[in-house]
Structure 1
Amino acid sequence: MPAMTSADTAHAYTLPDWAGISGCALPVTAGAVTGLLAHHALLLTVTGPLVAEVDFTVHRCEPGTLLWIRPGQALRVEPGKHESTTIVFRPGLFGPDDLPGLAPDDPGGPARHPIPLTGSAEFDSLVRDAAGPPGTTAAALLRHELAALLLRLSLLDPAPESPGHVESRTFERFRRRLEAGYPQTRRVEDYAAELGCSVRTLTRASLAITGRTAKQVVDDRVALQARRLLAATSLSVAEVGRNLGFGEPTNFGRFFHRETGLSPGQFRGRYVDEPSGGGIPAQRRPSD
């Protein structure tokens, strides 16, 4: 089955304007199709197991477990005898201070791995009400129910305690700026200048939090997006490179091979032609 482009995926379902929340069957659940999601998706496995691959990490979702897929992530669901229910909601639905201790649009956060949902009453109510008639009151109810569910997930799968030291604060600022800026620049010097600190400061903070240098953190993010675009869109290798700021395909090819051990063409062919075997190359080790 051919790969689904991000444009195809974005138009495969439409969120209602009146709520920004909907219950639906994601198009990628119909078979072994890769897609880039335009919205958040909360995937509850009803019968299974369901095998889902999110950003090239395979998850086995047992019945009663919930997996949260973020916008822009590559999702691939293995064909099999399983049933699932999905709630999708648009980015930006909640402001940064709406949910204490939880930023839904942050790439990190709870349920990045399947977690048991202790009772599905909140999820079931959300699905039922999303299928009801539209209106201002109904939209407010859906937003309230979704907020309660997301907060429940943050309790079931709490984030690690932040060290609270200056390195953690610096790295968090760096990570957020990188998420917005990686298509334009891979230079650590540019991020340091924007954040008003030195390259050494960013590197020290990155090593303290992740064990990787600031340059490796930048390259990891660019390589992840390259893999997403190669696996999930019909963009040419040159177009993928240009989307990520590489003026010459040869420069992109060298970068990608250094990060994954494969050329862009080899990666795409391995993933599209052998979806069930061989696996996906992981990021290089810090020492590589």
Structure 2
Amino acid sequence: MSALIQHTEPAPTRLPPDWSGIGGCALPVAADAATVLLDSHALVLAGTGPLDAEVDFTEHLCAPGTALWVRPGQAVRFGEPPGDTATIVFRSGLFGPEELPDLAPDDPSGPGARPLSVPHPESLRTAFGNLTADADGPPGPVAAALLRHQLAAVLLRLRLAEPAVDPAGHVEGRTFERFQRRLEEGYPHTRRVEDYAAELGCSVRTLTRASLALTGRTAKQVVDDRVALQARRLLAATPLSVAEVGRILGFGEPTNFGRFFHRETGLSPGQFRGRYATGPDGIPGQRRPTD
């Protein structure tokens, strides 16, 4: 979870119990509630009807039987779910980065970031139900270990359902993954691609080539996209002032933050916050910045 969440008001989200760090619920936030920043992982399995979900200002209509993995710190809002929608919530840090094969649960770019069609969704629904029932049972170390194994099985099932990655981009993929991990720690402090390249021991050209191969965006655009996303999260889901949001993101002057935000979104921070709160057209799309 991003350290920046500590600067925000507590979000009214469903938290897993402290004794296991894993629990179950219908949705992680109340249906039709205002957008909030999620403070735990949430695996949402749509029921027999479609589920409307907005994650980081992108609308998703989750078809029946599909899964969506929402990460800590993401801005989320849900419509009224079908009655049999199920959610597993779990805290960060339950699994080490190499503990599950080809899967780091705390990686924000992991599987299920978009609605994911899962083979045999009824089997996954049964797994969700068993985990939720066990989480509601008597607490203890044996029960906590059981929940952890059940969660690992669910996560690996989602990983298997994710489309295979083209091995031709394997080298660029590894470079971009390292870049993303470092960016999650460093974006409040620096927006210079040269700084990230130096920390990763590669050139700016290497980072740009990897970024273009994986996202179609330059490394500089990837950095600016991440800063702009966090700005939108904080403006939409917290009472922080525009100046406070700018300071959190490393802008010494509100005017500098305002110019950056307008360049990235086409709106001033105040316009974005007002339009997000009252406008019928939803979140404005992010304008592609010039490099």
Q: TM-score, normalised to structure 2's length?
A: 0.89
Q: 2:192 aligned to 170, 187, 194, which one?
A: 187
Residue 166 of structure 2 is aligned to residue 161 of structure 1: yes
Count of matched residue pairs? 281
**Larger displacement relative to structure 2 (146-155 or 15-24):** 15-24
> Paired residue for 2:4?
none
1:204 to partner: Cα distance: 2.5
Q: State the alpha-carbon separation in 2 of the partners of residues 38 and 58 from structure 1.
A: 20
Unaligned runs of 5+ in 1: none
- Indicate whether 1:143 and 2:143 are aligned: no
Q: Find the counterpart in structure 2 of residue 51 from structure 1.
A: 52
Relative to structure 1, is the Cα distance of residues 85 and 6 closer, same or farther in structure 2, using a 3 angstrom cutoff?
farther
CA separation in 2, counterparts of 1:236 and 1:286?
A: 24
Q: Is the 8 A contact 1:28 1:34 kept in 2?
A: no
Cα distance in 1 between the residues matched to 2:90 and 2:241: 30
Q: Percent identity?
A: 70
Give the drift of 1:110: 1.7
RMSD between superposed Cα atoms in Å? 2.1
Query: Do the aligned partners of 2:86 and 2:128 also contact (CA within 8 Å) in 1?
Result: no
8 Å Cα contact 2:263/2:289 also seen in 1: no
The residue number in structure 2 matching 1:223 is 228
Q: Distance in 2 between matches of 1:209 and 1:49?
A: 30
Q: Structure 1 residues 48 and 176, CA, compared in 2 at 3 Å: closer, same or farther?
A: same
Gaps of 5+ in 2: 1-6
Classify 1:82/1:231 alpha carbon distance in 2 versus 1 (closer, same or farther; 3 Å): farther
List per-residue Cα deviations over 1:85-104 (Å, max 9, x = no partner).
22100001011122111111
Per-residue CA deviations over 1:242-264 (Å, capped at 9, x if unaligned) read 11000111100100110011111
1:178/1:129 CA distance change after superposition, 3 Å: same
Q: Which of 266, 270, 279 is the equivalent residue of 2:271?
A: 266
State the 1:213 CA deviation: 1.4
1:80 shift after superposition: 6.8
Aligned to 1:280: 283
Residues 45 and 68 in structure 2, CA contact (< 8 A), matched pair in contact too? yes
Counterpart of 2:16 in structure 1: which amino acid?
A: L
Alignment of 1:1-288 (within 5 A): 6-9=8-11, 12-26=13-27, 28-79=29-80, 84-117=85-118, 118-119=121-122, 120-274=125-279, 277-285=280-288
Deviation at residue 211 of structure 1 after TM alignment: 2.1
